Each structure stands twice: as C-alpha cells, then as structure tokens.
Structure 1
Amino acid sequence: MTIRVMLADDQALVRGALAALLELESDLTVVAQVGSGDVVAAAAREHRPDVILMDVEMPGMDGIAATTAAREALPGVRVLIVTTFGRPGFLRRGLRAGASGFVVKDTPATELADAVRRVHQGLRVVDPQLATDSLVAGESPLTRRESEVLLAAREGGTVADVAKRVFLSEGTVRNHLSAAIGKTGARNRAEAVQIADGNGWL
C-alpha cells in the first residue's frame, strides 16, 4: 500500500529536497506541498494525505496550530513535525496538538522515511535527544497570559505598545512581564523572551 504524504514547509528548497527523498521510497508518494500554515487544513481536505510532514515556523499559522487544524479537517491524518527548531517546549505543544511524531530536519533520509511509516501505523516517533531535553526542561512555568505578553514583547516597543497588541492595560502588562522575568530567571524583558523562546514556551 502506498502512503500518501503532504509537505508543509515555508522553504521551497526544503520542500523540494524532502519530496525528492521521499519519492525514492517505493511505498511513499508526495500528493501535495504547501508553504504556509493557514492553508494546511484546506489542502489536507482536498488531497487527503495519510501523513503530513509539518514544519513549526511558517507564515500564516505556525505548525503547532496547523496540526490542530489539520486533525480537525481530516481526523484520520497523522502529523509528523519535522523542524530545525529542536526546542523541548515545541515537542510538548506539538504532541498536545495531536502530532504523532517529532523529528529534526537533519534526520537521515532512511530514518525519516521509516518515521513516516511508523507514524502511519499509529506509532509515536520522537527524536530521542529532543525527548531527553523535554524531560530536563519540564513544563513551561508561564501562564497563558504571560506567554501572550512575552510573545507580543518579542516584537519590541514600549510597554504601551505591548499593551495595545494584547488589549491589556499597561499596569497589567508590567505585572505579567515582571512575573515572566521572575519565572524564567531572566534579568530583563529581552532575556525572558530569549529564554522562553529557546525552550519553545512561546
């Protein structure tokens, strides 16, 4: 039986390379390729893949949200997240969103093809180093609001600018930023963003 695969990655060169590698396998066929997260669900409905190889960082919608959308659009589809960003927080969020696997982009071609097959069989595939890092890093200490405020702060600007982006008062934003700085062990807002981002908590 041929496994139908869809690729979701904003880099055309990466999509092309993945497609070429997977097409070398006699039991895999690439039925669709998309370059932004917001079109994943519609493409899944149209092409009905068995497995989606999903990048995390994409325009329109990130791969975590696109995983949720794809699973709602096509409940039987399996999602294998393939990313350059081996951040432990991404692993936890991806699995919570319904992904069946999580591998990094420098995974050898034969291992990637095998990961597609295993995910298609209903098995869970997780990069071992990423699994270890995730256990060490633990769950995000940030509340949903603190994460939102840090995410808005990542774009830069004053507290007033951040407050406008998240529709909160400046005082509330200051409180959330202060809490996030304390929880991440950072010295300032920029460092808190960097630490949270590095752990995949944003």
Structure 2
Amino acid sequence: MINLYLAEDQNMLNSALTQLLELEDDFHVVGSATNGASAWNDLQKLEIDVAILDIEMPKMTGLELANKINQAGLKTKVVILTTFAQKAYFEQAVKARVAGYLLKDSPSDKLIEIIREVNQGQTIYDPNLVINMLSADKNPLTEREMEVLQEMGRGLTTKEIANELFLTEGTIRNYLSAIFSKLGARSRIEAMQIANKNGWI
C-alpha cells in the first residue's frame, strides 16, 4: 500500500483528487491540507510515501514545503502538481530534489502512473518542462548526477560506477533514472549525446 498526502488549496480539487486516488487498490490517502503550514505539521507526524503538492498555497508554497522535506531528511517523496509551467519554478523543484513534476492539465492516469514510479525511486518530470529547460541551454542535472553521467561516458557499468563513486548500485540506478527523465533520454547513449550537444560534458 502506498500512503499518500495531498496539499492543494482549492477545496473542490483537493476533495476530487482524494476520491480519485482512493479508487486505486494500492493507494491510501492518509491526509490532506489546504495550506503548506498544515501540510508540514502533518508530514512530520505521519508515515507518508508520496506527497502530492500544489505550488501556490497559503502560508507555505509547495516548493518551500519540498525544501523542508528534503532538508529534514524525510523519506517522503514529492510530486509537484501545478498549473505553472514556468522555468523558474521547475528549476527550484529540481534543486529541492522533487521526484515528480506534473502539470494539472495532464490526464489523471498519468498522475497515478507517476505516483507509482516515484514510489519505486524514479524521477519523472513533465516532458514539456524538460524541453523548456533544454531550450534555455541550462543544465538540469545536479552535481552528483553529472558525476554519474561522466562515469557513464567512460563506458562503466552500473556496478563499476557505484564502486567508483562509493555508492550502492541501487543509488546509481536512481541517479540514472533521474538523468534520463531530466534529459528526455531513453538510453545512456542518447543521454550522452544530449549532454555533449549542449556542452555540459
């Protein structure tokens, strides 16, 4: 069972999303809030696997909340669900290590799919946002992801990269998933081509 938490300041949407998610056999909405401060109080007390957060909320934004979750070292993974396709918001989400970023006009089954993938350790961002980031020639990868990418460019296997960077194979696989998602790549070769084309390596 995947324990979910929903923070959305529009009561009607909050209620509708809760009902929608509860229809899934493997989902359980443990709680919800209409402002960031209440959500933060709940997230510190409850066992939450995935938190679905809106960006613009009273008292604390979804991005501020994501930063707090990250800084506190909580195991809760964050999916941002928003109407805003602004690059600035997306860049802040990447810095806050948000695991998923989806626009509200996306199909509901896409949200359900992303929640399951994020819960399994993957990083999933809306393709349109990735395209916007790449078109601005800004590197969306973190410093550690760049290290993994560079080792990957040397032709090392996942196990070899893990040994080189003193990390577990599972952690390296998570980094690779994040790299592929952020670059919109389907393979290691394609990821390297995109990075080379943009002059990041």
> What band does the TM-score fall into relative to the shorter chain?
0.5 to 0.7
- Range with bigger deviation, 89-98 or 130-139: 130-139
Cα distance in 1, alignment partners of residues 137 and 84 from structure 2: 17
Deviation per CA, 1:63-82: give whole Å up to 9, x if none: 11111112344521100000
Aligned to 1:57: 56
CA contact (8 A) 1:45 1:74 kept: no
Cα distance in 2, alignment partners of residues 138 and 38 from structure 1: 35
How many residues matched?
Answer: 138
Cα distance in 2, alignment partners of residues 57 and 135 from structure 1: 25
Cα distance in 1, alignment partners of residues 13 and 61 from structure 2: 17
User: Does residue 121 of the first structure (1) align with residue 120 of the second (2)?
Assistant: yes
Q: Counterpart of 2:88 in 1: which secondary structure?
A: helix
CA contact (8 A) 1:95 1:101 kept: no
Name the CA shift for 1:50/1:87 in 2 (closer, same or farther; >3 Å). same
Instruction: Output the aligned Cα RMSD.
Output: 1.4
Paired letter, 2:43: A
Q: Percent identity?
A: 33
Cα distance in 2, alignment partners of residues 131 and 87 from structure 1: 11
Q: Counterpart of 1:40 in 2: which secondary structure?
A: helix
Paired letter, 1:10: D
Cα distance in 2, alignment partners of residues 109 and 80 from structure 1: 14
Name the CA shift for 1:100/1:76 in 2 (closer, same or farther; >3 Å). same
Aligned to 2:199: none
TM-score (norm 1): 0.65
CA contact (8 A) 1:41 1:73 kept: no
CA contact (8 A) 2:37 2:60 kept: yes
User: Does residue 103 of the first structure (1) align with residue 90 of the second (2)?
Assistant: no
Unaligned runs of 5+ in 1: 140-202
CA contact (8 A) 2:32 2:39 kept: no
TM-score (norm 2): 0.65
Aligned to 1:20: 19
Unaligned runs of 5+ in 2: 139-201
Cα distance in 1, alignment partners of residues 137 and 91 from structure 2: 9
- Range with bigger deviation, 32-41 or 77-86: 32-41
CA contact (8 A) 1:40 1:70 kept: no
Aligned to 2:74: 75
Name the CA shift for 1:138/1:12 in 2 (closer, same or farther; >3 Å). farther
How much does 1:47 deviate? Answer: 1.9
Deviation per CA, 1:123-180: give whole Å up to 9, x if none: 00100011101222355xxxxxxxxxxxxxxxxxxxxxxxxxxxxxxxxxxxxxxxxx
Q: Counterpart of 1:39 in 2: which secondary structure?
A: helix
